């Protein structure tokens, strides 16, 4: 195929997550004009988002203004806008604000959490993908304790202090561990009528073990470590329904005011924009060089791409894979812009898996090296500080962590915005205003 | 009057601002049971709130969970709830959740910003009293630049880059200086089509000088310092109307997408709860010991109290006055609880006024000592670090400030939540979608 463009080729990158950002950074100074489009003005370091939900960190600690990253690199422009579609014939990305023409297009818009067809569960069991998810979850968790402190209805108090986390992947394990620590340590002396340590934290997993990406003995370790923190781990437990009262499993009902969804992700929009078929998770099958079949000028990287890795497995939907894909595609485009060949196909290199469970406890799987316990925990911390791409945040995050580590306190436990709606409670309590004196305050 | 209570007197404090918090801290360990009621779960350090609005700090840097402050002090309880009224006969505070009986009551619920009867201006010109005000303002300011970057309509671009601040008190001066620095330094290299330095920042004051609480030569200094930063200061300029297009003064109209209100405050609710008369600002005239006439068991402290200071002037509505009032009343109540006399009336001690203008520029008035320039600026920084009551935040805030100081960058410039509605723009632009190519991107 012949490539043609006036002057310099225009590269448009949709999404400034790990994939898109890594592509844009690789194209700094290349003979191309890059436009990054994202509906948010920041790149989010998702692996630490759960710490915003559990009041360890502030949103600004895990997010960087995209413009700030590229401010000194004049061949990179940024547009804050929502993509509505892609005009494949005219080669234009259509946003709510403008149409952006491209010679090369990188689709890197990531994934959303999926309720597997039960979208009606979403208001009762929010997931954790965006900053507003994290601040919403923080609000729900803290507010549940506040309501438990003043209610005089024992069963309602019980329900307010039950926390159910659905899904035993890294997000679920990390959230369960962090909420357990919040109730056991940070909030331990804050209340007068309830004991925050009485909170039940229940982790529900449909499969027969936690952390399926890890080898079985690390899954066992994670389960034991969570149980030591006071988390109840339920395996082989399938969720049948979630509503304002709590969660129904096949064999029991758990009344809970706070339910957190960490069970799965789905790719939205990308396939619709490109008018192609997808697999069940919405991913798009791409060529070995991550280009879209029939469109050598379009590439899909990160969670949205379905591409073979080895032994019949696909490249996993994790941050390092997105980063590697973005870098690979950027280099390929830079070569084409210089009139060179496309080069070798994409080869994913797997470095390993990490998941933290709580204070002094994590699991690390680097292939030959497998670690648990405090050494794994320190390694997890060092790795995350290292991968924070900015310069300012690592300093602040390290200071915050060090302080929390020494004091067991969580400084960011603010409830901002409006009070969450506890539908179940508000229905019940509307006619029976609790009386503080009666309640023995 | 005879005092009677079972066991220990119950003290209820409404509001955990500077006045309420200082009262509660003074009552730690006293022979009373204290309940602090606030509709938020944090104490807000308002003097630094404008730095959240201008992306220097995060909400968690200027707010502390109230429970955390008192967690180890068992005679202090905290209720998260909204006060709806006070039952003076039964001596109970009525909240949305519970009724809280008191033997002594301290009303310290502070003030709101006031539009002097023009409440319809509020959506177009938000004020700065709460954390959500600050994050809303941050969003509007940053979003205005984002929209200016992509619009192809020159007059709309002009309007998006006009920022009007109404009110030349400390908040207005600090906001104007901080937005000027944001556009001159932090955003300078972020955009490609607009030059953020072209932003007009206009400070509108109805009186004939800025910072009326300071002596005239410091007001002059502040005006010159702001002008050096690029702020246009308009004195004797009365606002006649504010709508979605901008601000109308008596002699001109300023089209602006972002208008910030810093012109005045009013006390709400307190007088209604207590069924008493107020002055024009909603303040309640109290006895020299800050008690409510006819109710020796009820005290009003902070912005809500009207009490004589000297030379016919009232005690000003500033943080130090609220703190001193809270401490005074708490000591008085502790004396009564021990069967002692009420003691001497409240005497306000004025330490001075501080206001910062920008990098290396502030004004300080300590009575005999008056300072301007970089020495005043350092003093302002040290004083605010010192007054941050927690332990964690001063460390974090100092780190952030030091980093911003060295790099001229602002790390917290995140737009979280939904896009603000630019009514004027959206009406105009609905039928004329800008085209990026046409716009010469």
- For the record, the structure tokens of B28 come out as 């730690």
Does residue B378 belong to any structural domain of this protein?
A: yes
Give the dihedral of Cα atoms A438, A441, B6, B12; nearest 10 deg: -120
Task: Copy the structure tokens of residue A349.
Answer: 């290199």
Average pLDDT over every residue of B420-432: 37
For chain B positions 355-394, those within 8 Å of chain A (CB to CB) are 390, 392-393
3-class SS of residue A409: coil
Task: Summarize pLDDT for A58-92 with one digit per residue, the tens.
Answer: 888 888 889 988 988 999 999 999 999 999 999 99
Interface test with A, best of B411, B428, B430, B437 (most A CBs within 10 A): B411
Q: Measure CB to CB from residue A79 to each of B65, B150, B416 and give the nearest one.
A: B150
- Residue from the list A392, A412, A439 with its beta carbon closest to the beta carbon of B60: A412
**For residues A102 and A79, is the Cβ–Cβ distance under 8 A?**
no
Mean pLDDT of A237-244: 95
Instruction: Give me the mean pLDDT over the B177-199 stretch.
Output: 91
Assigned token pair, A144: 């549940």
- Residues B30 and B147 reside in one and the same domain: no
Q: Which of B38-42, B332-336, B373-377 shows the lowest mean pLDDT across its residues?
A: B373-377
Query: Does A276 share its domain with A242?
Result: no
CA distance B197 to B195: 5
CATH number at residue B236: 3.50.50.100
Output the pLDDT for position B395.
66
Q: Are residues A321 and A408 in the same domain?
A: no
pLDDT for the residue B400: 67
Q: What is the pLDDT of residues A301-355, one digit of tens each?
A: 999 999 999 888 999 999 999 999 999 999 999 999 999 999 999 999 998 888 8
Residue (of B353, B370, B365) closest to B170 by Cα position: B353
Find the mean pLDDT for residues B123-144: 91
Confidence at residue A438, expressed as pLDDT on a 0 to 100 scale? 35
Q: What is the dihedral of CA B376, B377, B383, B387, to 10 degrees?
A: 140
Half-sphere exposure of A387 (CA within 13 A, CB side): 18
| β pairing state of A162-166 and A112-113 | unpaired
Residue B422 has pLDDT above 50, yes or no: no
- For helices A216-228 and A170-181, the axis angle rounded to 10 degrees is 20
Neighbours of A28 (CB within 10 A): 15
Residue A16's pLDDT is: 96
Q: What percent of chain B has pLDDT over 90?
A: 63
Hey, are the CB atoms on B411 and A393 less than 8 Å from each other?
yes
Q: Which two tokens stand for residue A273?
A: 């924009």
Q: How many CA atoms lie less than 13 Å away from A295 in the CB half-sphere?
A: 24
pLDDT for A435: 37
What phi-psi label fits residue B290: left (phi over 0), alpha (psi between -120 and 50 degrees) or beta? left
Q: CA geometry: angle at A63 spanning B158 and A113, to 5°?
A: 110
Predicted confidence at residue A414, as pLDDT, reads 64
pLDDT in tens, A22-52: 999 999 999 999 999 999 999 998 888 988 8
Residues A140 and A204 in one domain: yes
Q: What is the pLDDT of residue B435?
A: 37
3-state secondary structure A108-169: CCCCEECCCCCHHHCCCCCCCCCHHHHHHHHHHHHHHHHHHHHCCCHHHHHHHCEEEEECCC
Three-state DSSP at A363 gives: strand
Residues B99, A414: C-beta atoms closer than 8 Å: no
What pLDDT, in 10s, does the model give residues A206-217?
A: 999 999 989 999
Residue A180: closest CA among A125, A115, A260, A243? A260
Closest A-chain CA to B409: A68
- The Cα–Cα gap between A326 and A21 comes to 7
Would you say B244 and B258 are in contact if contact means Cβ atoms under 8 Å apart? no
Residue A378 within a domain: yes
Last residue of a domain, one of B337, B368, B394: B337
Closest CA to B219 of B209, B228, B231, B205: B209
Q: How many residues belong to chain A?
A: 441
B418: pLDDT strictly greater than 70 = no
Is residue B49 a part of any domain in this protein?
A: no
Instruction: Note the pLDDT of residue B438.
Output: 35
Q: Which of B174, B181, B205, B297 is catalytic?
A: B174
To the query of whether residue A174 is one of the catalytic residues in this protein, the response is: yes
- Give the separation between CA A239 and CA A237, rounded to whole angstroms: 7
Q: Once rounded to an integer, what is the mean pLDDT over residues B313-336? A: 95
Q: What is the mean pLDDT of residues A415-420?
A: 54
- Of B306, B337, B368, the one marking the end of a domain is B337
Q: Using an 8 Å Cβ cutoff, are A279 and A265 in contact?
A: no
pLDDT of the residue at A54: 85
Is the residue at A407 inside a domain? yes
- As given in the structure block, the two tokens for residue A166 are 């659905």
> CB contact, 8 Å: B264 with chain A?
no
Q: Is residue B369 part of a domain?
A: yes
Range of the domain at A311: 10-39+81-111+267-337
My answer on whether B316 and B389 are in the same domain is: no
Mean pLDDT score across all residues of chain B: 87
The partner residues of A165 in beta bridges, in order of sequence, read A203, A260
* Residues A249, A306 within the same domain: no
> Do A300 and A254 fall into the same domain?
no
Residue B398 has pLDDT above 80, yes or no: no
| Model confidence at A431: pLDDT above 60 | no
Q: Per-residue pLDDT for A292 more than 60?
A: yes
Report d(CA A145, CA A190) in Å as an integer: 10
Candidates A65, A392, A415; nearest CB to B40: A415
Of residues A2 and B151, which shows the higher confidence score? B151
Average pLDDT over residues B264-287: 92
CA distance A412 to A131: 14
B70 Cβ contact partners less than 8 Å away, ≥ 6 residues apart: B24, B28, B36, B76, B78
pLDDT of residue B433: 37
Q: Do A413 and B99 touch (CB under 8 A)?
A: no
More confident residue, B222 or B63: B222
Per-residue model confidence as pLDDT tens digits over B140-176: 999 999 999 999 899 999 999 999 999 999 999 999 9
* pLDDT at residue A404 in the model: 62
The answer to whether A178 touches A163, Cβ cutoff 8 Å, is no
* A290 and A309 together in one domain: yes
Same domain, A249 and A308: no
For chain A, positions 101-160, list CB contacts with chain B under 8 A: 101, 131-132, 135, 142-143, 146-147, 149-150
**Count of structural domains, chain A:** 2
Q: What is the pLDDT of residue A288?
A: 96
Contact of A26 with A332, CB cutoff 8 Å: no
Whether the CB-CB separation of A193 and A155 falls below 8 Å is answered with no
Residue of A110, A324, A322, A315 lying closest to A213 (CA atoms) = A315
Q: 10 Å Cβ neighbour count for B240?
A: 12
Structure tokens at A427: 């229905």
What is the phi-psi region of residue A255: left when phi exceeds 0, alpha when psi lies from -120 to 50, beta otherwise? Answer: beta
d(Cα A105, Cα A296) in Å, to the nearest integer? 10
For residue A425, give the chain B residue with the closest CA: B97
Any B CB within 8 A of A72 CB = yes
Q: Which helix (H) or strand (E) holds B424?
A: helix B423-429
CA of A197, closest CA in chain B: separation in Å?
Answer: 14
In degrees, rounded to 5, the angle at the alpha carbon of residue B321 between the alpha carbons of residues B316 and B322 is 115
Residues of B whose CB is below 8 A from A420: none
Tell me how far apart the terminal alpha carbons of chain A are, to the nearest angstrom.
78
Residue B414 banded pLDDT, cuts 50, 70, 90 = low
Distance from CA of A434 to the nearest CA of B (A): 6
Residue A46 inside a domain? The answer is: no
Q: Is A264 or A432 the better-scoring residue by pLDDT?
A: A264
How many C-beta atoms surround the C-beta of residue B172 within 10 A? 26
Q: Which DSSP string do the residues of B293-305 spell out, in sequence order?
A: TTEEEEEE-GGGE
Give DSSP secondary structure letters for A203-242: EE-SSSSS-TTS-HHHHHHHHHHHHHTTEEEE-S--EEEE
Question: Which pLDDT score is estimated for B394?
Answer: 61
H-helix or E-strand spanning residue B92: strand B92-95
Which of A131, A192, A434 minimises the CB distance to B98? A434
Would A313 be classed as within a structural domain?
Answer: yes
* A238 shares its domain with A381: yes
C-alpha to C-alpha distance for B37 and B50, rounded to whole angstroms: 25
Average pLDDT in chain A: 87
User: For the segment B212-243, what is each residue's pLDDT rounded down to a tens digit?
Assistant: 989 999 999 999 999 999 999 999 999 999 99
Catalytic one among A149, A156, A174, A205? A174
CA A82, CA A268: separation in Å to the nearest integer?
Answer: 13
Instruction: Record the tokens describing residue A366, joined without a space.
Output: 């680097």
CB B328, CB B343: distance < 8 Å = no
Phi/psi at B10 (5° precision): -100, 125
More confidently predicted of B241 and B397 = B241
A412–B contact, CB cutoff 8 A: yes
User: Is A354 within the bounds of a domain?
Assistant: no
Reduced to 3 states (helix: H, G, I; strand: E, B; else coil), residue A324 is: helix
Whether A75 has its CB under 8 Å from any CB of chain B: the answer is no
User: Which residue, B299, B322, B337, sits at the end of a domain?
Assistant: B337
Terminal CA-CA length for chain B: 78
Measure in Å the smallest separation between the Cα of A362 and chain B Cα atoms: 26
Mean predicted confidence (pLDDT) in B61-86: 91
Q: Both B231 and B316 in a single domain?
A: no
Q: What is the pLDDT of residue B96?
A: 87
β partners of residue A163: A201, A258
Residue B4 has pLDDT above 80, yes or no: no
Report whether A416 contacts A168 (CB < 8 A).
no
For residue A415, which residues of chain B lie inside 8 Å, CB to CB? 40-42, 80
Q: For the stretch A370-409, what's the b/e string if a residue is b when 16 or more beta carbons lie within 10 angstroms of its beta carbon?
A: bbbeeebbebbbeebeeebbbebbbbbbbbbbebbeeeeb
Whether the CB-CB separation of A417 and A139 falls below 8 Å is answered with yes
Q: How far is A333 from chain B (nearest CA, A)?
A: 21
On chain A, the residues whose CB falls within 8 A of the CB of B395 are 399, 403
B28-to-A104, A182, B25, B33, B375 alpha-carbon distances in Å? 66, 25, 5, 9, 37
Both tokens assigned to A417: 């915005």
Quick check: B210 pLDDT over 90?
yes
Q: Which residues contact A207 (CB under 8 A, 6 or more apart)?
A: A168, A235, A236
Task: Tell me if A68 and B190 make a contact (CB, 8 A cut-off).
Answer: yes
How wide is the angle at C-alpha A326 spanned by C-alphas A325 and A327, nearest 5°?
90
Q: What is the pLDDT of residue B2?
A: 57
Residues making up chain B, counted from first to last: 441
Query: How far A364 CA lies from chain B's nearest CA (Å)?
Result: 30
Chain mean position to CA A267: 13
Q: What CATH code is carried by the domain that includes residue A323?
A: 3.50.50.60
Q: Could you say which residues from 31 to 70 on chain A have a Cβ atom under 8 Å away from some Cβ of chain B?
A: 35, 40-42, 58-61, 63-65, 67-68
Cβ-defined contact of A72 to B396 (cutoff 8 Å): no
Distance from CA of B100 to the nearest CA of A (A): 6
Task: Classify the C-alpha dihedral B285-B290-B295-B298 as positive or negative.
Answer: positive
Residue pair A401/A380 in contact (Cβ under 8 Å)? The answer is no
Cβ-proximal residues to B182 (8 Å cutoff; 6+ apart), any chain = B54, B55, B141, B410, B413
User: Quick one: B166 and B250 in the same domain?
Assistant: yes
């Amino acid at each position: 195929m012949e490539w043609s463009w006036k002057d310099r080729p225009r590269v448009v990158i949709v999404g400034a997550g790990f994939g898109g950002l890594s592509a844009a950074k690789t194209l700094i100074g290349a003979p191309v004009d890059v436009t990054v489009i994202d509906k948010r003005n920041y790149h989010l370091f998702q692996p630490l988002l759960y710490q915003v939900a559990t009041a360890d960190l502030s949103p600004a600690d895990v997010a960087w203004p995209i413009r700030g990253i590229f401010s000194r690199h004049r061949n990179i422009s940024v547009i804050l806008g929502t993509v509505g579609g892609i005009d494949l014939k005219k080669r234009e990305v259509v946003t709510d604000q403008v149409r952006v023409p491209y010679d090369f297009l990188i689709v890197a818009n990531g994934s959303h959490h999926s309720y597997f067809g039960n979208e009606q569960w979403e208001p009762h069991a929010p997931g954790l993908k965006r900053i507003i998810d994290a601040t919403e979850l923080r609000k729900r968790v803290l507010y549940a304790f506040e309501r438990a402190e003043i209610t005089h209805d024992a069963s309602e108090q019980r329900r307010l202090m039950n926390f159910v986390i659905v899904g035993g992947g890294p997000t679920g394990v990390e959230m369960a561990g962090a909420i357990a620590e919040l109730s056991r340590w940070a909030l331990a002396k804050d209340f007068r009528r309830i004991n925050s340590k009485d909170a039940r934290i229940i982790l529900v997993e449909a499969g027969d073990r936690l952390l399926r990406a890890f080898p079985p003995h690390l899954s066992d370790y994670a389960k034991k470590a969570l149980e030591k923190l006071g988390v109840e781990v339920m395996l082989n437990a399938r969720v049948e329904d979630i509503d304002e009262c709590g969660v129904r499993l096949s064999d029991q009902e758990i009344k809970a005011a706070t339910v957190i969804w960490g069970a799965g992700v789905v790719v939205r929009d990308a396939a619709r924009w490109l008018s192609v078929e997808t697999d069940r998770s919405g991913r798009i099958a791409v060529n070995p060089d991550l280009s879209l079949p029939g469109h050598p000028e379009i590439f899909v990287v990160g969670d949205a791409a379905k591409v073979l890795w080895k032994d019949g497995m696909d490249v996993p939907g994790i941050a390092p894979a997105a980063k590697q894909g973005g870098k690979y595609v950027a280099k390929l485009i830079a070569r084409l812009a210089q009139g060179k060949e496309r080069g070798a196909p994409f080869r994913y290199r797997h470095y390993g898996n990490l998941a933290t469970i709580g204070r002094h406890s994590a699991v690390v799987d680097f292939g030959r090296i497998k670690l648990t316990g405090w050494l794994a925990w320190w390694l997890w911390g060092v790795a995350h500080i290292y991968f924070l791409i900015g310069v300012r945040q690592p300093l602040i995050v390290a200071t915050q962590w060090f302080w929390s580590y020494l004091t067991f306190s969580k400084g960011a436990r603010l409830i901002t915005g409006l009070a969450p709606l506890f539908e179940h409670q508000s229905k019940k309590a509307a006619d029976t205003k609790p009386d503080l004196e009666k309640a023995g305050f």
